[in-house]
Structure 1
Amino acid sequence: MNHRTSNLIKFIKLGKPHLTLGLFFYFSIGALIAILLHAQFDMGKFLLGWVIIFLSGWAVHYHNDYFDFETDHYTQPTPISGGSGVLIEHPEWRGLSISMAFILMGLAIALSVAFTVIYSYSLNFILFVIMGNILAWFYAAPPVKLSYRGLGEFGNTAIGFLFPAMGYFSLMGTLNLPFFIFVIPILFLQMLFTGSVEIPDMEGDKKGGKKTWIVSWGRGFGFKLIAISGLLVTLSFLIIPLTNLFPSIINFQILAAISLIPLSLGIIGLIKSPLDKASATKLCIYNLISIMVASIMINFYFIYVLSIPVIS
């Protein structure tokens, strides 16, 4: 491998595109629930909507690593947390990193304008994309710096809203009450994710000046947060049918059963509550795998429901 190719691979690694690709299943959950609520599937809308949110999510890692440059000197990257470590190795790439973030965000917003024109959507679609990028930007960027003021968890958990919302909005053309109700358990699932990615970085974040909830209250609190979030995912799925906003063909008890996967691991983590980084990180990796598995299973369940013939 020549030097130029090696550097290109490192620069792509800096953006952690694999993490954003993993969020596809949140996006597709939103799209599938829209179809179950009688939105028409349109491959063009689906693919363009995904490209827009993917570019926005990809940009996050470039500007986060730029603004977290000092803090990342204190953290050791793990498979699920910490910076990429690329800017620590190549500090001369900082300017290139922030430029890449601007390019990706600009492309996302430009494509949202094109989407709105092509499909005659309201300007709310463009505003949604812009606001999502602004929220992600200020996760680490001054003057707001959410992650340094004890508010980063809200920014991170918002991913559980933004990605499903984009899938839903792309096909439905709006965000309405059924979506806002349905996304509640996904938000709790993302809170479980947030606790899991913060736990490994506790020491480094503290030295770097970040005020995450884990820095403030410790790993034990983090495992409690994860278990409670998992429980709230399951309870939410059990309560949602009481709203009568969703077709009876959707069996929310099945969704609740699927959610027992991350809940079970959350309970195991709560029982063990390891305080050392290595053991805690191992459990958190399992948590993230369980979230991915649950998300994929929800997708497959919705696809199965859509395949059931409608009896007229």
Structure 2
Amino acid sequence: MARDVNLADTVSGSSSAIIDRVPRLWALWAAARPSQLALIVLVYALGVGMATAGPPLIASDPETPVDVRSPAFLEPVLAGAIALFPVAVAIHYANEYVDAETDALTDRTPFSGGSGALVQTGLPRSFLRPAVIGSVAVASVVVLSIGGSTGLPRDAVALLVTMFGLGLAYSLPPIAFVRRGVGEAINAVLGGVLLPLYGVAVVASPTGAAALAVVPFTLLVGCNLFATHWPDRVADATVGKRTLAVRWSPARIRRAFAILASTAVTAAAVLWAVGVFPAIVALAHLVPTPFLLWSGIVLTRQRSPLPAVLAMVVLAVSETIAWWWIGVVS
């Protein structure tokens, strides 16, 4: 036990030393939210994995099956990832800039309350303004350049531009969806629907079945948002953010969580029954069930959103493995 404490103290001390030595650089790194960027890459890979199932289920291009070893597959996937990365960073910077006041008022958990970059460094909110402007400009140039020069499919470019616009509008005025009571819906659509479909679209045109296939994951993104917004409800209410955690009672939040979770499980079963989900993908949707049950029990009764976060991440991992298994092994 003493050894674990010493290790934790060492890691904490190393982080503090880095913050003290290069506070501005560290703030830019932390505000980009590296852990969330990794999750975004994972969900993008989920969409690409769905595309490996090929026509007619997920992709509408009828000619040849997807060959994951060919340059024709790898090049657009890499281009799509390169275009996605600066868009995600710009959205995160915008969210950190707008939420600086909220982050200063709330007690962060590892999964809520923003990155804490400004709070930990003592830098003013204005520090991030040039980062927001610069990252938006860079992302715009990268999207236009890659979309125009690499032959990234038009539907993929359209999805990426839509994500870019909605992601900025989630936080930034004059729209600021999160202050209008629809932040959770926009967030779930971004991460649960548009992002994996973008992964599909860089390889082949998505079908209606592809849109149906992401419904269970989207519902778990919604469950995750109930849990991650709960610890910040007081700070969010103070600054005027109208999240569901601010507007709804704990009992109503738990009921809504139960509805989303049960609908996700039911939807996965139905999608398997009608042939949209192969058996291995349907089984992958059972993996996060223990975490969903755990989250439903502790939601609004504890601050940490860990169980709901685990449910979403575990499904993303298991489903990604299942879809890639179909495309690579089967």
Where does residue 82 of structure 2 map in the other structure? 51
1:66-119: CA deviation from partner (whole Å, max 9, x where unpaired): 112333332222211112233345575534423323333333333333333344
Indicate whether 1:293 and 2:314 are aligned: yes
Shift of 1:121: 4.2
Shift of 1:138: 1.2
Where does residue 201 of structure 2 map in the other structure? 169
Contact map agreement 1:14 1:86 (CA 8 A) in 2 = yes
When residues 44 and 296 of structure 1 are mapped into structure 2, their CA distance, relative to the original with a 3 A threshold, is same
Contact map agreement 1:71 1:209 (CA 8 A) in 2 = no
The whole-number CA distance in structure 2 between the counterparts of 1:307 and 1:129 is 26
Where does residue 28 of structure 2 map in the other structure? 11
Q: Give matches, 1:1-312, under 5 Å.
A: 1=17, 3-37=20-54, 38-41=65-68, 42-88=73-119, 93-158=124-189, 159-172=191-204, 174-245=205-276, 249-269=278-298, 273-274=300-301, 280-282=302-304, 284-309=305-330
**For residue 261 of structure 1, what is the amino acid of its counterpart?**
P
When residues 84 and 259 of structure 1 are mapped into structure 2, their CA distance, relative to the original with a 3 A threshold, is closer
The whole-number CA distance in structure 1 between the counterparts of 2:199 and 2:129 is 27
The whole-number CA distance in structure 2 between the counterparts of 1:267 and 1:78 is 18
**For residue 29 of structure 1, what is the amino acid of its counterpart?**
L
**For residue 20 of structure 1, what is the amino acid of its counterpart?**
L
The whole-number CA distance in structure 2 between the counterparts of 1:18 and 1:197 is 15
1:202 partner SS: helix
Contact map agreement 2:285 2:318 (CA 8 A) in 1 = no
Identity of aligned residues (%): 20
1:42-75: CA deviation from partner (whole Å, max 9, x where unpaired): 2222222123223222222211121123333322
The whole-number CA distance in structure 2 between the counterparts of 1:142 and 1:60 is 13
The whole-number CA distance in structure 2 between the counterparts of 1:164 and 1:106 is 24
Contact map agreement 1:72 1:208 (CA 8 A) in 2 = no
1:139 partner SS: helix
When residues 45 and 77 of structure 1 are mapped into structure 2, their CA distance, relative to the original with a 3 A threshold, is same
TM-score (norm 1): 0.85
Contact map agreement 2:83 2:146 (CA 8 A) in 1 = no
Contact map agreement 1:233 1:259 (CA 8 A) in 2 = no
TM-score (norm 2): 0.80
2:206 partner SS: coil
The whole-number CA distance in structure 2 between the counterparts of 1:230 and 1:62 is 31
The whole-number CA distance in structure 2 between the counterparts of 1:27 and 1:218 is 34
- More deviation in 102-111 or 230-239? 102-111
When residues 55 and 221 of structure 1 are mapped into structure 2, their CA distance, relative to the original with a 3 A threshold, is farther
Number of positions where the alignment pairs a residue of Structure 1 with one of Structure 2 = 298
Shift of 1:240: 1.4
2:202 partner SS: helix
**For residue 47 of structure 2, what is the amino acid of its counterpart?**
G
**Bigger relative CO (Cα 8 Å, ≥ 6 apart):** 2
2:287 partner SS: helix
The whole-number CA distance in structure 2 between the counterparts of 1:256 and 1:126 is 29
**For residue 55 of structure 1, what is the amino acid of its counterpart?**
P
**For residue 136 of structure 1, what is the amino acid of its counterpart?**
G
The whole-number CA distance in structure 1 between the counterparts of 2:74 and 2:132 is 27
When residues 225 and 269 of structure 1 are mapped into structure 2, their CA distance, relative to the original with a 3 A threshold, is farther
What runs of 5+ residues in structure 2 fail to find an aligned partner? 1-16, 55-64
Contact map agreement 1:105 1:133 (CA 8 A) in 2 = no
**For residue 267 of structure 1, what is the amino acid of its counterpart?**
G
**For residue 50 of structure 2, what is the amino acid of its counterpart?**
I
The whole-number CA distance in structure 2 between the counterparts of 1:244 and 1:84 is 41
The whole-number CA distance in structure 2 between the counterparts of 1:6 and 1:90 is 6
Where does residue 277 of structure 1 map in the other structure? none
The whole-number CA distance in structure 1 between the counterparts of 2:199 and 2:82 is 11
Contact map agreement 2:269 2:282 (CA 8 A) in 1 = yes
Contact map agreement 2:90 2:139 (CA 8 A) in 1 = no
Contact map agreement 2:295 2:308 (CA 8 A) in 1 = yes
Contact map agreement 2:216 2:265 (CA 8 A) in 1 = yes
Shift of 1:218: 2.9
